[in-house]
Chains A and B, each alone.
Chain A
Amino acid sequence: MKRLLVVDDDKALRKLLGDYLGENGYEVVLVGDGEAMRQELARTAFDLIILDLMLPGEDGLTLCRDMRARSSVPILMLTARGDELDRIIGLEMGADDYLAKPFNPRELLARIRNILRRSQESPGTGAAPRQLIFAGWTLDLSARHLIDADGIVNPLSNGEFKLLQVLAEHPRTILSRDQLMDVLSGREALPYDRTIDVMISRLRRCLRDDARDPLLIRTIRNEGYMLSTQVEQRA
């Protein structure tokens, strides 16, 4: 059973989170501030820390940076603002992902699953890369920008960005529609099969990839999609 440490100063929310995550198969430890968090971490190991940004005493950003310097435990940041700046700073401080309050509980579960899977696939890599570079394109994970060779930002929807990020994080690997759907999950259950195909075709157009003979994002019949190029990771 995966062990989660929830750090949030709101007692009621903490308890609700504990119950909800417990019901969904996680072992959860709840603490209210950075001090208690350090004590718990000193005692036992955790698979993931869910860290609130706004904490009494030491704030979430400081704790996140401090922890990143010492261990590679994945961190999911909870922000109350959903502010662009908080998100970018949070990611730069070494958080693996972030979620803005008020979040959808099912999206929280999906994010937890994603982070845990990623850390299982490449354990101990430490801070996640912030730039993925392939075929003249730069995917800036902090600013969430797809930048072309001329330095022009090409806008993507959130789903498209996530999809491209997953493809670029697993270059030359076939990713099934199920796996891609999982990345996009957390929203209400829509016919994702179709949406993923639509998003892929829009991504191809953005990347100026010929839809009939795509070179970058290739369709593997009956299996899924693959980014067929080398990807350089930059911190």
Chain B
Amino acid sequence: MKLFPRSLFGQMLLALVAGMAVSLTLTVWFLMHDRARQFDHFMGVHVAQRVVNLVAILDGSTPDERNRLIRIFNTTPYRHMVLDQPWAILNSGMSQQMQTFTSTLSQELGPDYPVQILFLGKAGNATGMAPADPRDLGGRFTALRAVIQVRLGDGTVLTLSQSFPAPHASETYLIIGSLILMGLTIALLTGWVVRRLTLPLRALANAANSLVLNLDQPPVPVTGSAEVASAASAFNAMQKELKKLLETRSQALAGVSHDLRLPITRLRLRAERIPDPELKAEIAVDLDEMDAMIATTLDFLRAGRSSEKQVKLNLAGLLELVSTEMEEAGATVKMSGAIPARILTRPIALRRCLTNLMDNARRYGGGQIDVDVSSTASTVEIRIGDHGPGIPTAETDRVFEPYVRLDTSRSRDTGGTGLGLSIARAIARQEGGEIRLESRPGGGLLAILSLPAYS
């Protein structure tokens, strides 16, 4: 069942086309069959009446007149009559068609004239009769021929060969052809309609997939059938609600973080009055830590929606600045590669992004940070590698989530609030770039920050 399509488009198309093919085939068969039956009946009656007329004229004539009349009535190759043939003895059975024709003839002629059919079929196959005329078989139409024997009133046997046109073969092709054309037209139209139905569904699925990455993505176009359109607008409404919910949460978090700043300010002033210098210093450290946590949380909530303006920035200068800070914090920084002269970016945001990445390398990466910069016409890539234990490939996505720290301990001794990478990535994305993590071949973690190049 591998051939069975999985997509809605394929399934709908298959159902419609298969259904149409079956119904069209049945229609053609029925039409053709019915047509043949009607033709047989019509021609049977027609030929029978002709034979009745001929028999009536010939039976009422003298033998001399008969020969003269037969010469007149014989229109080779369509009709040929002879009087000198013996009454044939049939040794093979008659076909259904022949039986029907015989009974039609007997009915028309009445009981006075015995009648039998010697042959009924394609013209030219009647052995011993008039030769086939090439015109019969030109392909334009096939003629049928009936060979009939009738015993006249005086016992004379009249043998008559009558041709009549068979149904036009080309007409049959025409019917089949037009039906195929109709089928194709309907299939194409169906394909188009189904595609129109399923395309908005695809757009909806894509939007749902990318919603996780970007809650601010433009709404899904409300197009297509009423059902799909209403699904799209329901999706848009959901996105709006999600955004509102998230914003409310963010605002609450921002509000708390923000409001905590006032008591911390007061505590700092109060701590100044503590006489014990050791206690005073300890409280100051705690307050600094609280301040830092609040600042990082606010940074995280603001990351990626900075109001800072983009400027042309000396990237080498920024890398040097951040490297110097890392070295002041005890790391060794090795810089390599060709740094492009400038980059269009938000300096404070990008500095935060680079600081977070390099700080991770410093903290978890064994103290040596390797920074390599390369660029193409469209992208600048800053690769920050460390010499630490790295992280399992399965975790490279999870570490970007806020408050996720792989060392499970929430202790700030190992450093960080678990927001650093989330902030860095939000910034990278606002700058039109991306951050990905890879394992280094020689061990350690590689953070790759790609940014659009200045053009």
- Chain A residue numbers with a CB within 8 Å of B258 are 80-81
Residues on A with beta carbons closer than 8 Å to the beta carbon of B272 = 20, 105
- CB proximity to B under 8 Å, residues A149-199: 150-157
Size range of the chain A interface in the assembly: 20 to 34
What residues of B have a CB within 8 angstroms of the CB of A20 in the complex? 269, 272
For B311, give its contact among A82, A145, A206 (CB under 8 Å): A145
Known contacts A85-B307, A152-B342, A155-B313; is A17 also within 8 Å of B262 by CB? Answer: no
Asked whether B306 lies within 8 Å of A16 as measured between CB atoms, the reply is no
Task: Pick the contact of B269: A17, A83, A145 (CB < 8 A).
Answer: A17
Q: Which residues of chain B have C-beta atoms less than 8 A from A84's C-beta?
A: 306-308, 348
Out of B269, B311, B312, name the residue touching A13 (CB < 8 Å). Answer: B269
**Which of B198-206, B317-325, B408-416 lies on the face that meets chain A?**
B317-325
A103 interface residue, CB < 8 Å from B?
A: yes
- Specify which of B261, B270, B341 is in contact with A16 (CB 8 Å cutoff): B270
- CB proximity to B under 8 Å, residues A39-95: 80-85
Give Cα distance in the complex from A143 to B318, angstroms: 16
* Chain B: CB-nearest residue to A199: B324
Q: Convert A92-132 into 0s and 1s, putting 1 for each residue whose CB lies closer than 8 angstroms to a CB of B.
A: 00000000011111000000000000000000000000000
Contacts A13-B265, A82-B295, A105-B268 given; does A155 touch B306 at CB 8 Å: no
- B287 sits at the interface (CB 8 A): yes
Residues on the B chain within 8 Å of A157, using CB? 321, 324-325
Which A residues are CB-close (under 8 A) to B313? 152-155
Closest partner residue, chain A, to B262 (CB atom): A10
Q: Which residue of A lies closest to B306 (CB)?
A: A84
User: Do A102 and B347 have beta carbons less than 8 Å apart?
Assistant: no
Instruction: Give the residues in chain B near A85, CB-CB below 8 Å.
Output: 307
Chain B residues bordering chain A, tally (CB within 8 A): 36
Task: Given the known inter-chain contacts A153-B347, A156-B321, please indicate yes or no for A102 contacting B265, CB distance below 8 A.
Answer: yes
**Using Cβ atoms and an 8 Å threshold, which residues of chain A touch B311?**
145, 153
Pair count A-B, CB < 8 A: 83
B314 interfacial contact with A, CB 8 Å:
yes
| Chain B residue nearest in CB terms to A85 | B307
Asked whether any CB of chain A lies closer than 8 Å to the CB of B266, the reply is yes
A16:B266 contact, CB within 8 angstroms = yes
Task: Say if the beta carbon of B291 comes within 8 Å of chain A.
Answer: yes
Of the candidates A16, A83, A155, which one forms a contact with B351 in the assembled complex, judged by CB atoms under 8 Å apart? A155
Q: Does B274 contact A (CB under 8 A)?
A: no
Question: Among the listed B266, B269, B324, which residue makes an inter-chain contact with A202, where contact means beta carbons less than 8 Å apart?
Answer: B324
Residues of A within 8 A of B295 (CB): 82
- Distance from B258 Cβ to chain A, minimum over Cβ atoms (Å): 6
Partner of A105, one of B269, B309, B348: B269
| Across-interface contacts of A206 in B (CB, < 8 A) | 317
User: Separation in Å of the B354 CB from the closest CB of chain A?
Assistant: 10
Given contacts A20-B269, A84-B306, A157-B325, contact A101 B262 (CB under 8 A): yes
Give complex CA distance A153, B314 in Å. Answer: 6
Q: Enumerate chain B residues within 8 angstroms of A102, measured Cβ to Cβ.
A: 261-262, 264-265, 267-268, 287, 291
Q: A10-B266, A81-B258, A145-B347 are in contact. List 4 more A-B contacts (CB 8 A).
A: A80-B258, A103-B268, A151-B312, A153-B314
B residues contacting A by CB (< 8 A) are 258, 261-262, 264-270, 272-273, 287, 291, 295, 298, 302, 306-309, 311-314, 317-318, 320-321, 324-325, 341-342, 347-348, 351
CB<8 Å pairs between A and B, sample of 29: A13-B262, A13-B269, A16-B269, A17-B269, A20-B269, A20-B272, A81-B258, A81-B298, A82-B295, A82-B298, A84-B308, A101-B261, A101-B264, A102-B262, A102-B291, A103-B265, A104-B268, A105-B272, A143-B309, A150-B312, A151-B312, A153-B311, A153-B313, A154-B317, A155-B314, A155-B321, A157-B321, A157-B324, A202-B324
